[in-house]
Amino acid sequence: MNTDYIEQYITDNFSEKRRIHTYGVRDTSVRLAKKYGADPEKARACSLYHDMFRRASDEHIEECINKYGLDPKYRHDPDLAHSKIAAIYMKNEMGITDEDMLNAVAYHTTGRAGMSVLEKVIFLADAIEPARDYPSVDYLRELADEDLDEACLAVLERSEDYLSLKGRKMDPDSIEFMNELRKRLKEEETEKKAMDNRELAMEAAKLLDQKKAQDVLVIDIAEKSSFADYLVIASAGSDRQAESLADNVEDKMAELGQNERMADGRKHTGWVLLDFGDIIVNIFSAGMRDKYDLEKVWGDCETVAVKTEE
Ligand SMILES: [Fe+2]
Ligand SMILES: [Fe+2]
C-alpha cells in the first residue's frame, strides 16, 4: 500500500508532537494487528491518516464539511470531525475503498458497536502509543497485550470517567461499543466457567472409572436445571465400595479447589450424593441406580460415557 503522499504530508505539515504521536500509533497498531490477526499493512496506513485533520482550522473543517457533504453537527466538534473528515478524504482524494480501513479511521475517536479487529487495533493504539502519558496508561498497555476487548473496554471506561469529571457526555457510538464489550466479556466469562465445570466433572468421572466404578456417565444438565450444571453417575458393587469411591472423589475435588456443599446419603442407602455446587456426583450401589434411573430423568441431555483405556 503506497503511503508516500501521507508520509510526505506528515513531514511537511505535522508538529513534532503530532508526528511522534502518529508514528507511535503506527508502530503500536502494527504490533497489535500482528498479534490479533488484522492486516498490519492496513493498520500502518490507517495510523498515518488517522489524525491528518487533528489540528485543522475551523475554516478548513467547515470547508471539508461542505465539500464532502458531512453532517453539519461536526462543525463544532473537532474531536469527531477530524476522524470523519480523514476517512472521507482517504476515500475521495486517495481512492481508498477498503470499508474496514475507512471505518477504522472514522471511528478511531469514539469506537462503535460491531467494530472489526482492525478498527479496535487503531482505536486502542491511539490511546496507548508510547508517547501517551496519563496515570493508567501502563496498565492499559499491559491489558492490550492480554485481551483486545478488555483493553478497549478499559479505555472506554477511563474516557467515560474523564468526560464525566468535565461534565461532558460520552458519544452514543462509544456507549454502544462499551455496552457491546461488556455483554460479550460477560458471556465469555460464563462460557469459560461452564468449560471449567465440564472439565471438573470429567475429572471426577475419570477418577471413578480408574477406581473401578462401573458405567460412569457425565450428563450435561446446565440447560435444563437450575441447581447444577453436570451430574456424574457411577455404580459401585457394594455400599462399602461406594463409600470408598466417594472418599476418593472428595479428595480429588478438594485438590482441584472444589469443596462439598453437603454430604448426603452417606447412610448406606445405596446412593451416595456429593454436592459440589455446579457438579453433583452420584454413586449408586445395590440396584439403586435402576430404581432412580437418573439417565432416564435427564434423558434429553447430552451424556458422555467415561471409560479410560484399560
Ligand atoms: Fe484522533
Ligand atoms: Fe490520534
Q: What pLDDT band is residue 258 in, cutting at 50, 70 and 90?
A: confident
What CA–CA distance (Å, rounded) separates 134 from 231?
Answer: 50
Which ligand lies nearest the alpha carbon of 85? 1
What CA–CA distance (Å, rounded) separates 182 from 141?
Answer: 19
Q: Say what the pLDDT of residue 263 is.
A: 63
Grid coordinates representing 159 are: 474516557
pTM, two decimal places: 0.72
Q: Of 82, 84, 90, which is closest to residue 60 (Cα–Cα)? A: 82
Domain ranges of the chain: 4-170, 195-305
Q: Tell me how far the alpha carbon of residue 104 lies from the centroid of ligand 2, in angstroms.
A: 12
Q: Tell me how far the alpha carbon of residue 53 lies from the centroid of ligand 2, in angstroms.
A: 10
Q: Tell me how far the alpha carbon of residue 43 lies from the centroid of ligand 2, in angstroms.
A: 13
Q: Tell me how far the alpha carbon of residue 138 lies from the centroid of ligand 1, in angstroms.
A: 20
How many angstroms separate the Cα of 104 from the Cα of each of 26, 51, 56, 67?
13, 12, 20, 22
Q: Tell me how far the alpha carbon of residue 229 lies from the centroid of ligand 2, in angstroms.
A: 47
One-letter amino acid for residue 69 of the chain: G
Look at the block and give the residue holding cell 457526555. 169
Local structure of 305: helix, strand or coil:
strand
CATH class name, domain 195-305 = alpha beta
Q: Of 50, 51, 73, 52, which is closest to residue 62 (Cα–Cα)? A: 73
Grid coordinates representing 99 are: 470499508
Which ligand lies nearest the alpha carbon of 126? 2
Q: Tell me how far the alpha carbon of residue 29 lies from the centroid of ligand 2, in angstroms.
A: 12
Q: Tell me how far the alpha carbon of residue 227 lies from the centroid of ligand 2, in angstroms.
A: 50
> Structurally, what CATH architecture does the domain formed by 4-170 represent?
Orthogonal Bundle (1.10)
Q: Tell me how far the alpha carbon of residue 151 lies from the centroid of ligand 1, in angstroms.
A: 18
Is the torsion defined by CA of 298, 299, 303, 308 positive or negative? positive
User: Which residues, other chains included, contact 98 with Cβ-Cβ below 8 Å and sequence gap of 6+?
Assistant: 42
| Residue 49 and residue 102 in contact, taking contact as beta carbons nearer than 8 Å | no
Which ligand lies nearest the alpha carbon of 55? 1
Q: What pLDDT band is residue 264 in, cutting at 50, 70 and 90?
A: low
Q: Tell me how far the alpha carbon of residue 51 lies from the centroid of ligand 1, in angstroms.
A: 5
Helix, strand, coil percentages, rounded to 5, for the chain: 60, 10, 30
Q: Tell me how far the alpha carbon of residue 167 lies from the centroid of ligand 2, in angstroms.
A: 23
User: Residue 245: in which H helix or E strand, if any?
Assistant: helix 239-255
Select the more confidently predicted residue: 292 or 86: 86
Q: What is the largest CA-CA distance in the chain?
A: 89
Q: Tell me how far the alpha carbon of residue 67 lies from the centroid of ligand 2, in angstroms.
A: 23
One-letter amino acid for residue 288 of the chain: M
Q: How many residues does the chain have?
A: 310
One-letter amino acid for residue 276 of the chain: F
Asked if the model's pLDDT at residue 310 lies above 90, the reply is no
Q: Tell me how far the alpha carbon of residue 180 lies from the centroid of ligand 1, in angstroms.
A: 22
Mean pLDDT of the chain: 93
Which ligand lies nearest the alpha carbon of 131? 2
Grid coordinates representing 178 are: 462499551
**DSSP annotation of 281:** E
Across 24-42, average pLDDT? 98
Q: Tell me how far the alpha carbon of residue 126 lies from the centroid of ligand 2, in angstroms.
A: 5
Q: Tell me how far the alpha carbon of residue 85 lies from the centroid of ligand 1, in angstroms.
A: 11
Q: What pLDDT band is residue 268 in, cutting at 50, 70 and 90?
A: low
Across 131-156, average pLDDT? 96
Q: What pLDDT band is residue 265 in, cutting at 50, 70 and 90?
A: low
What CA–CA distance (Å, rounded) separates 275 from 245?
Answer: 14
